């Protein structure tokens, strides 16, 4: 039986396959950053995860970043304080663009001066500054570097986190305690690239 095509959303998806892949990649990387931001706060204040979650549930990433910045003086080593300052600084510089992506809507920006259309994200708080789809690749790179800074910070806060060596760590989780046996083998699916029918319209920029 052939699979029916996916339902199209209300607004046309104007992003190319590569741009959609970068958007998904950014979202996945940022989930790591958010997770480690929570862990860094947890390790610094010494509250168990569920208890801390009850206190900060509903807070924004910006509020959690501000919280971690306020906690830096409480960190036990100068190394941890320095790494926290570095990570917070890098995270803060990307936060506005992250919010733009997470809370905006994708469409076509009409450059009336050149009479051209460009895939971009509109955001109510930044009406005059659309975020263009061509910026997604750079944002992925910056977010990935922040994730390594956060992992390095966690290593400084607790010896239980291995020192980053440039090889991505596999994050696994289950509904209950570990079953006491090796995890099954898993291989990621190969990345899909843009097809001729849906090229990156701004790739020549």
**127-138 pLDDT, tens digit each:** 889 999 999 999
At 36, list the tokens. Answer: 């480690």
Angle subtended by helix axes 17-45 and 78-103, to nearest 10: 140
pLDDT of residue 155: 92
Q: How far is CA 22 from the centre of its chain?
A: 11
Pairing of strands 116-122, 131-132: antiparallel
Which pTM value belongs to this model? 0.84
pLDDT of residue 196: 38
Residue scoring higher pLDDT (74 or 161): 74
**pLDDT at 198 > cutoff 50:** no
**140-166 pLDDT, tens digit each:** 999 999 999 999 999 999 876 777 788
Angle subtended by helix axes 17-45 and 61-71, to nearest 10: 40
**Beta partners for residue 132, in sequence order:** 120
Q: Which of 4-13, 104-113, 151-160 has the highest mean pLDDT?
A: 104-113
3-state DSSP assignment of residue 131: strand
What is the dihedral angle through the alpha carbons of 152, 158, 159, 161, rounded to the nearest 10 degrees?
A: -50
The DSSP letter of residue 5 is P
Tell me the average pLDDT of the chain: 87
- pLDDT band per the 50, 70, 90 thresholds, residue 50: low
Alpha-carbon distance of 3 to 6, in angstroms, equals 9
pLDDT of residue 166: 81
């Amino acid at each position: 039986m052939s699979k029916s095509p996916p339902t199209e959303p209300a607004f046309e998806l104007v992003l190319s396959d590569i741009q959609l892949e970068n958007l998904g990649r950014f979202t996945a990387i940022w989930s790591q950053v958010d997770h480690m931001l929570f862990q860094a706060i947890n390790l610094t204040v010494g509250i168990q995860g569920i208890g801390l979650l009850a206190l900060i549930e509903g807070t924004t990433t910006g509020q959690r970043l501000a919280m971690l910045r306020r906690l830096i003086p409480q960190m036990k080593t100068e190394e941890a304080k320095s790494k926290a300052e570095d990570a917070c600084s890098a995270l803060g510089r990307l936060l506005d663009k992250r919010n733009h992506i997470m809370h905006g809507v994708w469409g076509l920006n009409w450059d009336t001066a050149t009479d051209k259309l460009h895939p971009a994200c509109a955001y109510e708080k930044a009406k005059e500054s659309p975020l263009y789809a061509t910026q997604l690749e750079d944002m992925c790179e910056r977010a990935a570097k922040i994730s390594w800074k956060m992992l390095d910070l966690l290593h400084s806060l607790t010896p239980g986190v291995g020192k980053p060596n440039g090889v991505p760590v596999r994050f696994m989780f289950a509904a209950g305690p570990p079953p006491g046996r090796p995890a099954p083998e898993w291989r990621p699916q190969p990345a899909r690239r843009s097809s001729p029918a849906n090229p990156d319209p701004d790739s020549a920029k």
